[in-house]
Structure 1
Amino acid sequence: MGLSPWLLFLFSVLVQTSAILADTDPGDSAGLTAIAANWKNKPSNWNGDDPCRDKWIGIICTGNRVTSIRLSSFGLSGTLSGDIQTLTELVYLDLSYNKDLSGPLPSTIGSLSNLQNLILVGCSFSGEIPKELGQLSKLIFLSLNSNKFSGSIPASLGNLSKLYWFDLADNKLTGTLPIFDGTNPGLDNLTNTKHFHFGINQLSGTIPREIFSSKMKLIHLLLDNNNFSGSIPPTLGLLNPLEVLRFDNNPQLGGPVPSNINNLTKLAELHLENCKLTGPLPDLTGMSALSFVDMSNNSFNASDAPNWFTTLPSLTSLFLENLQIGGQLPQALFSLPAVQTLRLRGNRFNGTLTIGSDFSTQLQLIDLQNNQISAITVGGSQYSKTLILVGNPICVPGSTDNYCVAPGHSNPTAAPYSTARNCSAVPTPCLSNQLLSPACICAVPYRGTLFFRSPSFSDLSSPSNFVPLEQDMKTKFAKLNVPVDSIAIHEPFFDSNNNLQMSLELFPSGKVQFSEQDISDVGFILSNQTYKPPAMFGPYYFIGQQYSFANDLLVPSTSKKTNRLPLIIGASAGGAVLAAAVVAIVVCIARRKRTPKRTEDRSQSFVSWDMKSTSASTVPQLRGARMFSFDELRKITNNFSEANDIGNGGYGKVYRGTLPSGQLVAVKRSEQGSLQGSLEFRTEIELLSRVHHKNVVSLVGFCLDQDEQILVYEYVPNGTLKESLTGKSGVRLDWRRRLRVVLGAAKGVAYLHELADPPIVHRDIKSSNVLLDERLNAKVSDFGLSKPLGEDGRGQVTTQVKGTMGYLDPEYYMTQQLTEKSDVYSFGVLMLEVVTARKPLERNRYIVREVKAAVDRSKDMYGLHELVDPVLGAAPSALAGLEQFVDLALRCVEEAGADRPSMGEVVGEIERMVKMAGGGPGHESASESMSYASRTPRHPYGGDSPFDYSGGGMPSTRVEPK
């Protein structure tokens, strides 16, 4: 219905009046208010409805329009609202280092036509990267690294012709690198982009030759730690500006290295380690800028030491391990002026090792373990740094020479670097939330971790490598007028991804604590790459910690609207009434926009649980779960030593520990930036302290001491089912053992569905969440996403979709209706994974679709010979029950949940298959199997030992009361 002329007139007056009373565009004000409604821990002065005039922290305006949002390290939690589309003049959006910002990235962000920088480093955003980002034609800086994005790289991003920085590293991306196909754009269109940072994902397929051309300006090409296959395309040699190249840790990347690689004369860092590269060892002659070379653990043809060894004047680090290189090492290699580290173990170097008297003063390590060296000559002054010749003929039994002693005995590594604090006397101890700065001042530092993706040096013991970084960073912060007094870095080490990682502390200047505006500025300088480190450190990224602001230092939140009182009084009475009306309209619109979606109900058992307190009054007494102090766990893990490190994931690391009673435990320590938040932590404690079953991992206890989130489980020694299927754990599972593992996992899930009170939906059933104990019994683990159903034991709940792509129930995904049948679908995918040993989702191939398309029930093994894991063999007699197993799996992955069996039915059917496969005498009777469907609470769920299938004990199935 149209507006009357009077209403149109009234509306125009309202708009004009609002322009007098407020500096901020009404649309921007309403949009920001709606966005803020989805967040917790907003800046202190985000009050009122006039962000520009009131100078909201982190908000920068041009005129009356919001053009910049900079809120890194504020501890924001929640989701990014689709109302972001209202900020049509936005140029910068930086929400980095807010690890509790999660959920999908709204597609409406693609309507921000003026956006130049989109920076979301170190959050927990998930789902697919919206293809609508390809509409941001002005985008220069796209940094989405260190989140949980999944799916493939949208081809539409090839439209971003102005893009300079492109960082998607450290996510869960799959699929291939998109290229122009005649219709859709691809990454080969990005000729102006200088940075391709795609490492630490699950990208796969071949690296297309079309992706590289002489027109490209790439200086950093990081494709490490993925699943690329095929060979390195020869077009790589066309990237003349390239300075850093990382293809390392792609275990299926093979073939020869292109012979024209030495065209890359500006290349400083070359990483090709841990692939399947073949052919001759690459000729690096003429690559005079090379400082760091690692080609270890490949399958190059056996050869003698190449001539280029001694022709690289900038070389600091040469890593060529396990490559079968032979001959005598040239003496000139040790005299290269910058050389620091030579790691050449596992080769065939022979003859006399001649280091000479003119070896480089920088040379810290010569590692020649397991070669064929028979003699050594060191001229002039004795080489006194670390030389390792263990495993060579020169080291005869009983030799006492230092170089014949295994590392870690008489050749300890140097102490880790830490910024010096030369404080002879400190007047008073620092307060608990303060640290002593290098300038000997107690203050609250801004802390985080620097990750250097390809430094040009390898010696971590020398201050000369780190002091320049400290001085350079301090100088540049001063030039940018940021109040940083001093800088401390410490604990540098190379992590499992070959990144140099170090802790960073920035101390405020002229005050005890940074202000909120300071943190907004400092965070942006680091996330936006405004700060550039010395060239020797290479590309980096930073993950900041949440900064705690003292109440007396907060920016006053008093509204400045009182300053406008004379203007308001001066307005006519009618204008005042109209102004009130426009405020009412804006507030009404804003409230509608900011009404948050209904979130998941939190467990009532934890409503009053203060996660930062360990007092008995705030932590519920959970039966069966012990509360540990942090010092206790530090002691049983030997101070969380690397020797006790048995795994890691998005939450942090897992350490092996031994309790005073002698019980082995697994200690899962959540780290800063963890993908497991407080809700997941509490969920896992609550559920695991209530459920007890031999096929569900047991929770021994937890720790909330000293702001830590730590879970302590029973120790399960044989890794995950996924590691067994991929061969990583060394545990080989034949068909019978796989059936029994699947049966055990099915019993664990059936217990959750049918005997837990209320029933529990696991919500993340997958092979990496099935652990194998010392007898290969399966134990279901990781309950951070689990969800109790209604008290009636049946039905469904409406909840935010969570789970792992590839295993996720499509019905749940489409409807957000979670039922027990969602777990059944995931379990069906796991069953197909057990048969094929293939990832559920890889190279745009979905295992469910692959099996459904290949099944031919008129043939033996249903015609699945090409899909069945070759480790199992191809003889039908060795795979008894395979057809029934596949039938059951396909019933589990029916599109409609109503067409899927219950987990109790799954258990019964797998038991029959175990018998067909020859489970041995004495396994469970048919009557026992039927009890799964009848929900008999006395059923023991026991008797699935892989070696003695004779029943065994009767573990408790009783659920502890809340």
Structure 2
Amino acid sequence: MSETMLLVLLLAFNYLFIAKGETADGDFTTLLSLMDTWKNTPPSWVGADPCDDWDGIKCKNSRVTSITLASTGLAGELSGDIGSLSELETLDLSYNKDLTGPLPQSIGDLKKLSTLILVGCSFNGPIPESIGYLQELLFLSLNSNSFSGQIPHSLGNLSKLYWLDLAENQLEGPIPVSSGSISGLDKLHHAKHFHLGKNNLSGSIPPQLFSSEMALIHVLLERNQLNGNIPPTLGLAQGLEVVRLDSNSLSGPVPSNINNLTNLQDLYLSNNKLLGSLPNLIGMNALSYLDMSNNSFKPLDFPVWFSTLKSLTTLKMEKTQLQGQVPTSFFSLANLQTVVLKDNKINGTLDIGSTYSNQLRLVDLETNSVDSLKQTDGVPNVKIILKDNPICQEIGEVGSYCSTSQSNVSYTTPPNNCQPGTCSSEEQIPSPNCICAYPYTGTLVFRSPFSDLDNRTYYVTLEEYLMQSFRSHSLPVDSVLLSHPTKDSNQYLELSLQVFPSGQDHFNRTGTFSIGFLLSNQTFKPPKVFGPFYFNADKYEHFGNPGSSESSKSSNIRILIGAAVGGSVLLLLSLLAGVYAFRQKRRAEKAIGQSNPFRRWDTTKSSTGIPQLKEAKMFSFEELKKYTKNFSQANDIGSGGFGKVYKGTLPNGQLVAIKRAQKESMQGKIEFKAEIELLSRVHHKNLVSLVGFCFDQGEQILVYEYIPNGTLKDTLSGKSGIRLDWIRRLKVALGTARGLAYLHELANPPIIHRDIKSNNILLDQSLNAKVADFGLSKCMVDCEKDHVTTQVKGTMGYLDPEYYMSQQLTEKSDVYSFGVLMLELISARRPLERGRYIVKQVKNALDKTKGLYGLHEIIDPSIGLESTLSGFDKFVDLTMKCVEECGEDRPKMSDVVREIENILKSAGTNPSDESPSISSSYEEVSRGSSSHPYNSNDSFDLSAGFPYPKVDPK
């Protein structure tokens, strides 16, 4: 037997016959679901026990508590099943640039999650409100993705949060703060880091964002669209060390109490529209980096108090209307490195003096009024720039200070007392210890301004800090190499980082996950001079490279062969037993299958006699249990005589309504199959879509798209808190009519709904109408001429009187019910109320000689009678045609559609337009304590109907 065959047999034996390990069943199933939606999962994800065998997975008491898969090359979306890992404490998927799609709402079910890190992926869509349910969350880092929409108010509920990083996304809208019972970021009293830069946030900075109760040390709001004044409350957060408000549209004066921030090290206010006097910063003795460039301060002589800032390393005051002479004493500040005062009115003589800081490297006074310079020969290490000053405009003046050229900055960690050799592979790189290896690489990005790029002492210190951190966490790191220091357009310092493995030429997956996690969750603390940072890792692709010896592989193969031979006899016996069990199972399944009406269905192919299910899916009962959290009470959104409806979330994040039949109300298998075939044939934007079904373990379940705004009945009654104006009511009527016209004239075979009413019209997120509940519907395939003789079904008040008397059902019966619905849209009254019938009421009150046909007392006041009800008379005329007693006198639904379209056109509205958003289409009033729109008793009463299709054996 060949070595390859033995290996295959051994793997088969392990996979098929060794009992699954200790990982809890639910967690194991969830991990399999994640595997199903991801590409490039670690090769070790094949064993039977994730807790012991799978890279990146850690467990406690057989429950998954940690998933760390940084730099793995994962691709795909994050499955909604992630919410089932109820013991999960850490989730780090950073540096997987092909992870995309929205975050599922179910992420809010991870009640024990303390660390959520998704740095440098490609997630998009809004940040789920449900993240605000994670009460144990300490660390939330979603930076460097493509998230959009507003920052959820619910994040203010994260009372334990320490780190909030949402930078470098596409977030917009205001910074959320609390109002009444609504939380906001001002409630995060324990948070030390607000990193919200490089987004599209707008509005003013809320004053209540800052208070003496806040523990903030970093507030980074740079590169947004913020406007208004800097709130004086900023001076209350006295623990602040870094404040970046640059590159916004902030205006007004800088608050005078800003000098209360005595711990502040970096203050960045440049590129705004700030006015008034330059703030006095006396007492800010920790201030190291100050940039207030490109603002419109009042003209001011160079302030004397600049010389009191003992920790100052960098002063940038470009285009701030500074004037006068820079005092020589200023250059004596011990830590001073960089002075940039371009485009001001500095004049007189520039005198650096003889006691200037030995760290000073740059003095840039380009475009000022300096006319002389002292001691140019005594400052060899300082680059002085005086271009476009009078001194450089004099004839014959050609000093080096009249040029803006600066030396190129370069740094690479030098070899550690060794001579690098030539590596055997082009992809291998010599480490600082001259050992060829495949390093883990990426870019360190420091968000705090950094002045002296050429200061090698800083980089050596950073290297020492990195190695100290790797060693303290027992990571297999031999050395680190830093190179290519540059500043980007945001004044961020970027440094290339290469981390070299210890003891071999490549890292294993655990090593890269651990290094990535240490850098992504900020365990590594750089020297203070570098300030806050984040890391962007590259994909690591050198696991188990040819650098590992062939002899080692051969040895491993021999070990595996020995194990395989030892288990081969047991394997063969097990296979024989398996074949026997399989044949017995097939016999049982064949016997059961004869009574299963779904046995011949193939949802991936079409053939004669097989329903075209299109996107409808056959779900297992176990799947639906998972999607509804075991049909939990929290997901119960309604009930009725048929059964209950549950809200569920599919693995792709789609919300669905799952209607589960009670045992006593289930119909026969053939009838249930027939209804699914009917529902699978109808596909229209104004009909509620069937997503799938379940006929498993004795269950009958239908899965529909979830419609968020509930029923038209709840809206008209005021229960939903939504007000429909006249044009929106016309559009609801049009959408309903289009859905019915499709059923009557385009469905094959045609379908009569038989139960049109306001409780069976659902409103989506843009208030477009969708017809629901086909449980009483009849196909016209077996009709006698143009009608179906059938037992009368429907809802009193909407029921066609002709159908009631003759028991002959036609599509004109739906037209009558639709006419009653139109009257309901006009009046918001129930068809039968206190013995009064709305059709008769309107007929008696109708007077076409009067304005609004004399129906003032019947029209719903919430429509707004102060506005013109365009086309009202034509709409009433159409309504009365629909409720004619004789079916032949009623129009077809296609004629009704055409007439409502004309009414909308005459009102100046395009009938093809749909509302892009709810806010532009309707008014939402206070919902108070109203119940869920699907949980109305009326909505689920058998006599009132059911907003999702009932299964009716007739």
Normalising TM by the smaller chain, what interval?
0.5 to 0.7
Partner of 1:439: 433
How far 1:514 moved relative to its partner?
0.5
For 2:154 and 2:123, locate their aligned partners in 1 and report how far apart those are by CA, in whole Å: 20
CA deviations 1:483-536 (Å, max 9, x no partner) are 111111111111111211111110111110000110111110011111111111
For 1:891 and 1:432, locate their aligned partners in 2 and report how far apart those are by CA, in whole Å: 64
Partner of 1:149: 147
Summarize the Cα distance change of 1:22–1:317 in structure 2 as closer, same or farther, 3 Å threshold.
same
1:545 aligns with 2:538: yes
How far 1:437 moved relative to its partner?
1.1
For 2:182 and 2:349, locate their aligned partners in 1 and report how far apart those are by CA, in whole Å: 59
1:292 aligns with 2:292: no
SS in 2 for 1:283: coil
Partner of 2:194: 196
Alignment of 1:21-36 (within 5 A): 21-36=20-35
CA deviations 1:677-706 (Å, max 9, x no partner) are xxxxxxxxxxxxxxxxxxxxxxxxxxxxxx
Query: Contact 1:357/1:380 (CA < 8 Å) preserved in 2?
Result: no
Partner of 1:419: 413
Asked which structure has the greater CA Rg, the reply is: 2
99-108 vs 327-336, which moves further: 327-336
Partner of 1:15: none
How far 1:405 moved relative to its partner?
2.5
Alignment of 1:123-522 (within 5 A): 123-250=121-248, 252-378=249-375, 381-408=378-405, 412-421=406-415, 425-455=419-449, 457-522=450-515
1:140 aligned partner, one-letter code? L
Summarize the Cα distance change of 1:559–1:107 in structure 2 as closer, same or farther, 3 Å threshold.
farther
For 2:162 and 2:98, locate their aligned partners in 1 and report how far apart those are by CA, in whole Å: 28
Summarize the Cα distance change of 1:31–1:319 in structure 2 as closer, same or farther, 3 Å threshold.
same
How far 1:381 moved relative to its partner?
3.0
How far 1:890 moved relative to its partner?
9.1
1:76 aligns with 2:95: no
2:186 aligned partner, one-letter code? D
Query: Contact 1:356/1:380 (CA < 8 Å) preserved in 2?
Result: no
1:363 aligned partner, one-letter code? L
How far 1:44 moved relative to its partner?
1.1
CA deviations 1:446-494 (Å, max 9, x no partner) are 0001110104x41111211211001111121011110111111111111
For 1:153 and 1:57, locate their aligned partners in 2 and report how far apart those are by CA, in whole Å: 33
1:545 aligned partner, one-letter code? D
Summarize the Cα distance change of 1:560–1:309 in structure 2 as closer, same or farther, 3 Å threshold.
farther
Summarize the Cα distance change of 1:308–1:416 in structure 2 as closer, same or farther, 3 Å threshold.
same
Alignment of 1:827-846 (within 5 A): none
For 2:119 and 2:652, locate their aligned partners in 1 and report how far apart those are by CA, in whole Å: 25
Partner of 1:86: 84
Summarize the Cα distance change of 1:342–1:551 in structure 2 as closer, same or farther, 3 Å threshold.
same
Alignment of 1:35-46 (within 5 A): 35-46=34-45
TM-score (structure 2 length as normaliser)? 0.57
For 1:96 and 1:424, locate their aligned partners in 2 and report how far apart those are by CA, in whole Å: 35
2:315 aligned partner, one-letter code? L
140-149 vs 468-477, which moves further: 468-477
How far 1:814 moved relative to its partner?
12
SS in 2 for 1:313: coil
For 2:222 and 2:306, locate their aligned partners in 1 and report how far apart those are by CA, in whole Å: 25
Query: Contact 1:417/1:462 (CA < 8 Å) preserved in 2?
Result: no
For 2:342 and 2:561, locate their aligned partners in 1 and report how far apart those are by CA, in whole Å: 67
CA deviations 1:128-174 (Å, max 9, x no partner) are 00000000000000000000000000000000000000000000000
Summarize the Cα distance change of 1:392–1:431 in structure 2 as closer, same or farther, 3 Å threshold.
same
CA deviations 1:534-554 (Å, max 9, x no partner) are 111100000100000344589
CA deviations 1:274-299 (Å, max 9, x no partner) are 00011111111000000000000001
145-154 vs 558-567, which moves further: 558-567
Query: Contact 2:188/2:214 (CA < 8 Å) preserved in 1?
Result: yes
For 2:523 and 2:238, locate their aligned partners in 1 and report how far apart those are by CA, in whole Å: 25
299-308 vs 558-567, which moves further: 558-567
Partner of 1:50: 49
For 1:810 and 1:180, locate their aligned partners in 2 and report how far apart those are by CA, in whole Å: 26
Runs of 5+ unmatched residues, structure 2: 1-16, 590-618, 628-649, 655-763, 771-866, 869-905, 917-954
Runs of 5+ unmatched residues, structure 1: 1-17, 600-808, 816-854, 857-886, 898-962
SS in 1 for 2:179: coil
Summarize the Cα distance change of 1:519–1:183 in structure 2 as closer, same or farther, 3 Å threshold.
same
How far 1:440 moved relative to its partner?
0.8
Partner of 2:914: 895
How far 1:416 moved relative to its partner?
1.5
For 1:505 and 1:814, locate their aligned partners in 2 and report how far apart those are by CA, in whole Å: 57
1:45 aligned partner, one-letter code? S
Partner of 2:936: none
Query: Contact 1:356/1:379 (CA < 8 Å) preserved in 2?
Result: no
Partner of 2:826: none
Partner of 2:609: none
Alignment of 1:525-544 (within 5 A): 525-544=518-537
Summarize the Cα distance change of 1:205–1:424 in structure 2 as closer, same or farther, 3 Å threshold.
same
2:267 aligned partner, one-letter code? L
Partner of 1:111: 109
Summarize the Cα distance change of 1:241–1:424 in structure 2 as closer, same or farther, 3 Å threshold.
closer
How far 1:406 moved relative to its partner?
2.2
Query: Contact 1:262/1:286 (CA < 8 Å) preserved in 2?
Result: yes
Partner of 1:683: none
Corresponding pairs, count:
589
Please provide the CA RMSD for this pair. Answer: 3.9
CA deviations 1:19-54 (Å, max 9, x no partner) are 98530000000001001111111111101442113x
SS in 2 for 1:332: helix
Alignment of 1:858-937 (within 5 A): 894-895=913-914
Query: Contact 1:346/1:369 (CA < 8 Å) preserved in 2?
Result: yes
How far 1:378 moved relative to its partner?
2.3
For 1:240 and 1:432, locate their aligned partners in 2 and report how far apart those are by CA, in whole Å: 53
SS in 1 for 2:467: helix
Partner of 1:102: 100
CA deviations 1:260-281 (Å, max 9, x no partner) are 0000000000000000011111
For 1:205 and 1:268, locate their aligned partners in 2 and report how far apart those are by CA, in whole Å: 27
For 1:111 and 1:270, locate their aligned partners in 2 and report how far apart those are by CA, in whole Å: 39
Alignment of 1:942-957 (within 5 A): none
TM-score (structure 1 length as normaliser)? 0.57
How far 1:422 moved relative to its partner?
6.0
CA deviations 1:95-140 (Å, max 9, x no partner) are 0000000000000000000000000000000000000000000000
CA deviations 1:847-890 (Å, max 9, x no partner) are xxxxxxxx99xxxxxxxxxxxxxxxxxxxxxxxxxxxxxx9x99
For 2:358 and 2:912, locate their aligned partners in 1 and report how far apart those are by CA, in whole Å: 64
Summarize the Cα distance change of 1:389–1:428 in structure 2 as closer, same or farther, 3 Å threshold.
closer
How far 1:588 moved relative to its partner?
9.8
